[in-house]
Amino acid sequence: MSHAADTEPRTGALASPAPRPTRWRLRLAGETPLGRVVRNFCESRIAVLGLGMLVVIILAAVFAPLITPQNPYDLNEIRVEAGRLPPGAVQRADPPRQDFVIAVDPSAAGTQTIDLDTDAPFAALTAEIAVAAPDRIEVSLTGEPAVGFDQVARLRIDGLPRGAELTVGEKHSFRSFWEVPPGDLARFAVIHADGFDEPFDLEIDLRGAQGEAIMTHWLGTDSQGRDMLSAILYGLRISLSVGVLSCVFAMFIGMSLGLVAAYFGGRAEAVIMRVVDIQLSFPAILVALMLLAVLGQGVDKVIMALILVQWAYYARTARSAALVERRKEYVEAAHCLALGTPRIIFRHILPNCLPPVIVVATVQMANAIALEATLSFLGIGLPVTEPSLGLLIANGYEYLLSGRYWISMFPGIALLLTIVAINLVGDQLRDVLNPRLRRDG
């Protein structure tokens, strides 16, 4: 039997294509630079956890107006009497109140039926008035809340003729109205020793036991009545926006100056780097304090101060990376093609200097948020009307010894989680983007 049939290639419907698509997918997912970075980043579970936590924090800050029960910046929504409530406390509206009048005519015969105008918050009531004797008038109420009166905390009856008394309740010590238990309002009598000469109006004041629940303060309230959960999420918006904006502008300024210093060298490099050395020789908090003492309070002032504090870190990092890239062949090829200097710097050298700058940006973003919180805690950062996390911590600092820990502790935990999440992501990016630690798998 010949084996020629087995050695010939198969054609037609039975032929199977080579597994090239699978190899192409592997190359797309694992061998591209972006795929390699993603794969190496996901190897650290702690970094992935930090990234997930950071995404949740950012989404909560961005959608804070939609998910928070209160706007802490709107003075119309803040109630000072609801200040320093513990976590889980329920804020209620003022107890419902209702006033109605029962017109009594002693000269009318039989039983008078009056439908009282009591729409809300209590149901409609019907009063039946009967003149039992010249000196006694009986009043009975039917309907709600005459059946139970469980929602009535206080009941007052006023408007009695001089010398008249009620068969229920007690007269106030200094004023003319009577305080009546809610259960006795269903049936009572008005008596007068000398009889009733003319009609009179009984003024009945009902006050509810408790108001309707407005919101639940899951994290309590601060001294000004702001909901802590709402204040923390709005404070995260300010802290993240200040950190991101200051890092973006500082990175643009510092990276530009660092690239210029590395590319041109000479006096330009000497001047720029000496300014960087002077900038880095002072503590960042000291420089920010001096700048805000001159500029004043405000979000824009804090961002300007953080930019002037941080740009030197990006300048030094960009210069170090650009010095290495400047000696490579693609830069010499760009010179041979007579490309312009700005194009060589920003379109050829800059993309290759971004990885270390991105790592520095993640670390500096966490530093910027912590520095802004420190400035606000010291009272020179953001104003009181725009509470950031640092200002919230400062507001509750004086209440720690009195047992109201939540005013400072919960904003502090939010600040800690934000900084830890950014640092976890930054540390892993440093390991992934560092050429010396790069693993191509």
Backbone angles phi, psi at 256, to 5 degrees: -65, -45
pLDDT tens digits, residue range 122-144?
Answer: 666 788 889 888 889 998 877 65
d(C-alpha 385, C-alpha 75), whole Å: 9
Largest CA distance in the chain: 138
* pLDDT at residue 47 greater than cutoff 80: yes
Q: How far is CA 269 from CA 206, 314, 355, 410, in A?
A: 82, 15, 22, 47
Pick the CATH number of 49-85+218-437 from 3.40.630.10, 1.20.1630.10, 1.10.3720.10, 3.40.50.920: 1.10.3720.10
Q: What share of the chain is helix, strand, coil (3-state, %, to 5)?
A: 55, 15, 30
- Residue 27: what pLDDT? 45
Q: Indicate yes or no: pTM above 0.85.
A: no
Q: Report residue 229's pLDDT band, with 50, 70 and 90 as the boundaries.
A: very high
Q: 226-248 burial, b if ≥16 CB within 10 A, otherwise e?
A: bbbbbbbbbbbbbbbbbbbbbbe
The upper half-sphere exposure of residue 255, i.e. CA atoms within 13 Å in the direction of its Cβ, equals: 21
pLDDT-derived band at 105, boundaries 50, 70, 90: confident
Strand order, beta sheet including 165-166: 111-116, 125-133, 136-143, 187-191, 165-166
| Per-residue pLDDT tens over the stretch 239-272 | 999 999 999 999 999 999 999 999 999 999 999 9
Element (DSSP H or E) covering residue 144: none
The Cα–Cα gap between 405 and 84 comes to 10
Cβ atoms of 386 and 26 closer than 8 Å:
no
Q: Are 334 and 348 in contact (CB under 8 A)?
A: yes
Say whether pLDDT at 147 is over 50.
no
User: Could you tell me the residue ranges of all domains in the chain?
Assistant: 49-85+218-437, 97-213
Task: Report whether 254 contacts 311 (CB < 8 A).
Answer: yes
